[in-house]
Amino acid sequence: MESAGLWMLGSVGVLILATGLPAFVVLIAVSAGFAAWGVITGILPAGLLTALPYRLIGLLESDLLQALPLYVLMGAALNRMPLAERLFDAIRAPFGRSRAGPPLAGLLLGALLGPMNGSVGAAVVTLMQSVLPRLRAAGMGAADSLALVTTASTFGVIVPPSLVLILFGDTMMRAHTEALNATKRMDRIINTADIFHGALLPAALLLLATSAAIAWRMRGRAGEAPLRPNAQAIATAVITFLFIAGLLALVAAGYLYAVEAAACGAVSLFGYGIITRTLDRTRLDAVLRETMAVTGGLFALFVGATTFSLVLRAFGTDQLLGRLIAGLPPGIAVAAVLLMLGLSALVLDTFEIIIVLVPVLMPPLLMRSEDAVWVSVAALMVLQTSFLLPPIGYAILLARGRDRDAVPLTALSRSLAPYLLAQAAVLALVLAFPGLTHAISGRPVLPPQRPAAEAGGMLNSMLPAPDE
């Protein structure tokens, strides 16, 4: 009954849209229902479900998950402290009376805050609280400001280092390991740092293209002169940018792990709050409560997704998908998987896609495609673009649902068009030129690969012959 897992996936999408329940509740409920049906009908052995506690223990023992609460803590602290306001004013000041100043400041601030807020949903909520009011106060139109905030909320998908890239890198490492074990290829297994390196240049190109779109839209328009930040605000902004850029460089260069960078950032933010007296007891209580709530939701999602994947694999749906993908030419296989991920982004958030779909779709694809880093970056960019597709892109639905001005969809779509064109252009470049994802690491696009038997023969040939 290999198709049962496909019905599970469909049921999850329908129930999330129809009920509005949290994703982890839907995942556990669907898994329990199909597992009970499988055991009652004799399709699944009851003993197989005893593997679930061990899978959960193995999941929670991952060192990588230590970075998640720290990144959430950084995002909550930035949201509660006045640091975001100072950064916005300091970024806007050099542009003078140009109307491009506020949106460019909002874009850069969103690129800083988005990666630390985790999912697209969390980024939308944070940026609508911290960036949207400042854009509208600076005279930016309702549709234009909402479109910019919606676009910036998706940057956490591709701008490293972020919660999304950390989890996606770990999931892709497992998928690549599974693919290499199945094909017996002797390749180097990718890790999170490889995906960081692969995403750096596309992320930079995306920021440049989006900035160019803003400059084009705001050309020839004059706005109000911004407030001149004082020396303390300018110094704070410069130090913050240098600090974040330094952490990014150290993580990308491999000198720091994601956990270490997150811990350094969290401690530094707390130090800043104590020194400047902007993190009082009330704000600290709010930061800790928000961190616990978001972290609890993330780990509940991990538990639900682990349960779901166990039942799905027990039905053999992963093998069915593997055979379907294996029957396609490599280029068509990549396009089909990217299309499925893009469609799922219309109803699911980032973490749900990474935890539920990526472990199922990526192993068979990586058996056909040899460039795992390129596939990873292309998948991330497809997800980011899908979150912004009118009328039902996930980020659009969340932003319009929380916007008090009720911007019409047609006006929002017109304002989003330049940003979507910029994203489509960068995505096309990544798909057409895989070398862009290897420009930072310097590794070849297709590393030399040898079957395990051939590699073993070469190793034996290099060993001295035994004495006869």
Taking 60 as the threshold, does the pLDDT of residue 449 lie above it?
Answer: no
pLDDT at 378: 92
Does the pLDDT at position 208 exceed 70? yes
- In this predicted structure, what is the pLDDT of residue 464? 52
Instruction: Check if the beta carbon of residue 153 is closer than 8 Å to that of residue 395.
Output: yes
Whether 279 has a pLDDT exceeding 70, the answer reads yes
pTM of model > 0.85: no
Query: Who contacts 304 (Cβ-Cβ below 8 Å, separation ≥6)?
Result: 23, 24, 25, 26, 27, 28, 31
Mean predicted lDDT score pLDDT of the chain: 78
- Using CB atoms within 10 A of its CB, is residue 466 exposed (0-12), middle (13-18) or buried (19+)? exposed
For residues 176 and 164, give the distance between their C-alpha atoms in angstroms, rounded to a whole number. Answer: 18
User: What is the 8-class DSSP label of residue 256?
Assistant: S
Lowest mean pLDDT: which of 27-41, 159-173, 205-219? 159-173
| The pLDDT of residue 249 is above 60 | yes
pLDDT value of residue 377? 92
Q: Are 159 and 343 in contact (CB under 8 A)?
A: no
Say if residue 450's pLDDT is above 50: no
Residue 319 vs residue 201, higher pLDDT? 201
234-264 burial code (b ≥16 CB/10 A, e <16): eebbeebeeebeebbebbbeeebbbbbbbbb
- Give pLDDT, residue 429: 93
Q: Is 221's pLDDT higher than 50?
A: yes
Residue 425 has pLDDT above 90, yes or no: yes
